[in-house]
Structure 1
Amino acid sequence: PHAPAHSWEALAAPCHINFCGAIATLTAALPAMVARGRGHLVGISSLSSYGALPASAPYCAPKAGLSMALECLRLDVAPRGVAVTTVYAGFIDTAMVAHRREAMPQLLSPEAAARRILDALPERPPRIDFPQPLAWAARAAARLPRALRDPVVRSLAGEHDRSRRG
């Protein structure tokens, strides 16, 4: 049996992997970068960190936390010559999404996603988000009042909810 979606058991492992593991990995190199006065940290977050999605707390919550931690870290280390880039990725065709039955708009291959990241990194941007149409929609939806956003998100997730019941 699976743990309920909002139980500690359901949230703990994704939090440890998608937040704690990412931060531990990224900050391991930080002291050497700060000492040299240069470097570039790149953290992989998700477009889902821009806003809540039904039945997605175990994934969205740690990714949102990671995004905020990277933004804070960027402000802290930029004066010391270290850049921090947060990658807000859309759906990438990996084993993690292979079981999903709902639509995954603008699904990218891992190679295409890696190419988008690598092409943008020379500029050392604070943010890389892709694919663009989905990224624009996610950022716009995050700015909507909840009274407008929630019904749209629930409606878009409706097919997902029906597929879980059916």
Structure 2
Amino acid sequence: MRKVLYILGQLTDQDAEWLARNGRRREVPAGETLIRQGQPVSAMFILLDGHMEVQVNGIGRVARLGSGEIVGEMSFVDKAPPAASVLSLEHCVVLELDKAAIERRIAEDMGFGMRFYRAIACFLSDRLRATVTRLGYGTAQDDDADQGLAADELDESVLDTVSLAGDRFNRMLKMLGVGS
């Protein structure tokens, strides 16, 4: 669930409620492809329940995702099509956040836009650091010493908001009728 903490930790309670109210709760049957590599995506998804898998053509599975993971977020940063496919391993529930709706919200509320893009930047920064470590650039010990972080430890700026983010995610799940 750690990834949703990056997003919800940077947003306000009102922002998180807006996402839940304006997103679409979507049931994803087992085996369905939610995002297809190379094909544009017009939404970002928060996995609320179930497990999904990230696959890259020519490589295969690169990640297994659970509740609280986020996919499709890179479409908010650039126009490039997805570099991976995401498919459900079992029946899943996601919150589908339409890119156009979020862009309208950003145009109406610049504060929301600042918080939203900061959250995306923190999220992608964490993903890049984890990928670099997995690929073996430098040594994990050197990287951890440079960053002041132990393996799989959250950044201090995120730690300050973890409790609030967790509460926001739990309220979102309740609002969307997941896990009740």
- Specify the structure having the higher radius of gyration (Cα): 1
User: TM-score scaled to structure 1, two decimals?
Assistant: 0.30
